[in-house]
């Protein structure tokens, strides 16, 4: 976006929030909706399940679910799924990660309607054992999804998996592994095999156009091409092997960074995405799409230690993942500010460098972007939503006193 448009945005955000005292978080709903449309455009008519961990605000989740093309939620914890169901957000919830929460399992088992709405994730018989141990033999039917490992093992033929490209999630890698676990689920009373999921983090969650790093970009693209080709074949074979044993309601795959690719696979019936709605900075580095920054936070200038420096209150909202500068928040508006190498984003204050700092006075605000999408909601109890009609304010999960880990 060129400078005039960026400056226009700053003026718009400043004037819409003039009554608010920073720190606060803002969601630009026009950008949010435009990002949702961009996700749908890349999804080739596959429904998108909304990854709630990347939103963590019930109001925003329900706005997305009201848009045709989005269907169901991918929750990140079983307690969260139970809460989302209880509060009538949706009756189609896949918990995208295995659970060891015995209390939540007992709550699920007690509630027939919740059991019909919520599907848990397994990739190991140990998780099935835990469910039965928590609920006792003869427990009511629990809907189960098998997670297939989507990582790439270029040397798998050598029976070595030390060259592992991707995240460490499921041990179920081959179609044979998948069929074996499916048989085990089907053999045990109290479980229904409903779906399969495989999340290709090394494609969906890794930008292929890192700025100023052409060699890395070329390497990432090559890895992603090869990994995708390998996965498409393996996923199809694993899904076919499971479908030969049980009918499936869905096969979920992909994430914000991979929609156009994952949606070309016949075996995949639905996609998942969340981050792309809010467009945090980690999603700025993909060749295939451009999103509009939709989630911002404003911090107040509280000191001017020297010429070319403005210090704002707060700011140390680091994103999870491997430690690196890409996990830091980014000063966004006004343009031209940067973090310092010695303090970066501090616990209670953050100095910012740049000539434009001299135009800032105590009480002015600086707009920032978070590196990840959902984690911003763990920092702020409210999101102020900006639309053409003005501002509305809604609670985040934190604002509803919900913290799922």
Ligand X SMILES: Cc1ncc(COP(=O)(O)O)c(C=O)c1O
For 293, other C-beta atoms within 10 Å of its C-beta total: 22
Confirm or reject binding of residue 274 to ligand X (CB under 6 A): yes
**Nearest distance from C-beta of residue 216 to ligand X, angstroms:** 20
- Tell me how far apart the alpha carbons of residues 135 and 168 are, in angstroms, rounded to a whole number: 28
Q: Which of 276, 280, 315, 351 binds ligand X (CB under 6 A)?
A: 276
Say if CB 350 and CB 314 are below 8 A apart: yes
3-state secondary structure of 70: strand
Say if CB 33 and CB 392 are below 8 A apart: no
- Tell me how far apart the alpha carbons of residues 349 and 264 are, in angstroms, rounded to a whole number: 46
* Cβ proximity to ligand X, 373 vs 385, nearer residue: 373
* Cβ proximity to ligand X, 150 vs 312, nearer residue: 150
Count of residues of this chain found to bind ligand X when the rule CB under 6 A is applied: 15
**Nearest distance from C-beta of residue 276 to ligand X, angstroms:** 6
* Cβ proximity to ligand X, 72 vs 255, nearer residue: 255
**Nearest distance from C-beta of residue 76 to ligand X, angstroms:** 8
* Cβ proximity to ligand X, 95 vs 181, nearer residue: 95
**Nearest distance from C-beta of residue 381 to ligand X, angstroms:** 22
What residues contact 200, with CB distance under 8 A and at least 6 apart? 150, 166, 227, 228, 231, 253, 254, 255, 258, 262
* Measured CA distances, 174 to 152, 180, 202, 221 (Å): 11, 10, 18, 24
| Binding window for ligand X (CB under 6 A); candidates: 14-22, 171-179, 268-276, 300-308 | 268-276
- Tell me how far apart the alpha carbons of residues 92 and 88 are, in angstroms, rounded to a whole number: 10
* Cβ proximity to ligand X, 28 vs 147, nearer residue: 147
* Cβ proximity to ligand X, 20 vs 67, nearer residue: 67
Q: What is the per-residue binding string for ligand X in 86-105, x denoting contact by CB under 6 A?
A: ----------x---------
* Cβ proximity to ligand X, 56 vs 365, nearer residue: 56
Q: Is the peptide bond before 135 cis (omega within 30 degrees of 0)?
A: no
Query: Which tokens sit at 365?
Result: 């605000």
* Cβ proximity to ligand X, 203 vs 339, nearer residue: 203
Say if CB 42 and CB 272 are below 8 A apart: no
Task: Please give the residues from 62 up to 81 whose contact with ligand X meets the rule CB under 6 A.
Answer: 74
Q: Which residue is nearest to ligand X (CB)?
A: 255
**Nearest distance from C-beta of residue 144 to ligand X, angstroms:** 15
Confirm or reject binding of residue 256 to ligand X (CB under 6 A): yes
Confirm or reject binding of residue 54 to ligand X (CB under 6 A): yes
- Tell me how far apart the alpha carbons of residues 386 and 393 are, in angstroms, rounded to a whole number: 9
Q: Which of 72, 175, 190, 205 binds ligand X (CB under 6 A)?
A: 205
- Count Cα atoms within 13 angstroms, Cβ side, for 382: 13
Confirm or reject binding of residue 51 to ligand X (CB under 6 A): yes
**Nearest distance from C-beta of residue 205 to ligand X, angstroms:** 6
3-state secondary structure of 26: strand
* Cβ proximity to ligand X, 273 vs 339, nearer residue: 273
Say if CB 317 and CB 376 are below 8 A apart: yes
Chain-centroid distance, C-alpha 389:
28
Task: Please give the residues from 347 up to 386 whose contact with ligand X meets the rule CB under 6 A.
Answer: 373
Chain residues in the site for ligand X (CB under 6 A): 51, 54, 74, 96, 199, 204-205, 255-256, 272-276, 373
């Amino acid at each position: 976006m060129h400078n005039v448009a960026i400056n226009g945005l700053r003026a718009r955000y400043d004037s819409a929030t003039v009554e608010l005292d920073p720190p606060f978080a803002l969601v630009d709903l026009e950008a949010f909706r435009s990002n949702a449309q961009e996700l749908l455009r890349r999804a080739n008519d596959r429904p998108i399940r909304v990854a709630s961990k990347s939103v963590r605000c019930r109001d925003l989740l329900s706005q997305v679910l009201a848009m045709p093309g989005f269907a169901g939620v991918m929750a990140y914890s079983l307690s969260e799924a139970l809460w989302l169901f209880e509060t009538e957000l949706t009756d189609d919830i896949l918990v995208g990660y295995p659970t060891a929460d015995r209390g939540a399992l007992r709550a699920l088992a007690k509630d027939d309607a919740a059991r019909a709405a919520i599907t848990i994730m397994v990739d190991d018989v140990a998780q099935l054992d835990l469910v039965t141990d928590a609920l006792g033999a003869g427990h009511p039917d629990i809907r189960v999804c098998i997670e297939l490992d989507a990582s790439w093992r270029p040397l798998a033929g050598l029976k070595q998996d030390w060259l592992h490209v991707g995240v460490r999630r499921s041990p179920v890698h081959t179609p044979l592994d998948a069929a074996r676990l499916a048989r085990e689920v089907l053999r045990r009373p109290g479980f229904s095999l409903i779906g399969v999921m495989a999340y290709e983090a090394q494609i969906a969650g890794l930008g292929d156009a890192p700025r100023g790093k052409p060699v890395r970009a070329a390497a990432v693209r090559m890895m992603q091409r090869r990994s995708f080709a390998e996965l498409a074949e393996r996923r199809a074979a694993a899904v076919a092997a499971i479908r030969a044993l049980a009918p499936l309601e869905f096969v979920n795959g992909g994430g914000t960074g991979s929609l156009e690719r994952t949606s070309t696979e016949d075996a995949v019936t639905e996609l998942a995405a969340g981050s792309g709605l809010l467009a945090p900075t980690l999603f700025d580095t993909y060749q295939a799409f451009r999103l509009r920054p939709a989630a911002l936070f404003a911090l107040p200038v509280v000191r001017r230690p020297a010429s070319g420096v403005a210090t704002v209150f707060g700011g140390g909202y680091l994103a999870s993942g491997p430690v690196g500068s890409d996990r830091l928040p980014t000063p966004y508006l006004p343009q031209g500010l940067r973090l310092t190498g010695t303090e970066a984003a501090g616990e209670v204050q953050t100095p910012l460098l740049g000539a434009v700092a001299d135009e800032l006075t105590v009480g002015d605000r600086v707009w920032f972007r978070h590196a990840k999408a959902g984690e911003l909601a763990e920092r702020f109890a409210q999101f102020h939503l900006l639309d053409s009609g003005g501002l509305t304010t809604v609670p985040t999960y934190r604002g509803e006193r919900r913290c799922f880990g």
